[in-house]
Amino acid sequence: MKKHICTWALISGLLLALPITKAKGENVIIGDDDGGLDARTTDVTLAWDPNRENDIAGYNVYYGRSSGDYFRVETVAKPSATITIKGSKTMYFAVTAFNADGLESDFSDEVHYP
């Protein structure tokens, strides 16, 4: 059974997904089969309220093509991340906080793009 650190001081008020569109990208992190190699890429910047606990080591950013069905994308130290997605399908995002012992919080509220 997974232990959880403090239930949501993290992202109690803010998880935003802001798009920045580019024509093409070479180091695409997330892809789908929409449009093949010529599919448009979009940088989605996620930002959230930091967790107020003293022992927070970082945040895990999760994504998925279905609401509530995520795969971890990356681990970040600060309360923001920019993820490059390829194609036009909806992407769902959520974030967790973790401490130095590896204990992880519940998921944040979910946001999606587009």
pLDDT tens column, 61-81: 999 999 999 987 889 999 999
pTM: 0.71
pLDDT of residue 40: 86
Residues 99, 51: Cα–Cα separation, whole Å: 10
Residue 102 Rama label (left phi>0; alpha psi -120 to 50; beta) = left
pLDDT of residue 103: 96
pLDDT of residue 88: 86
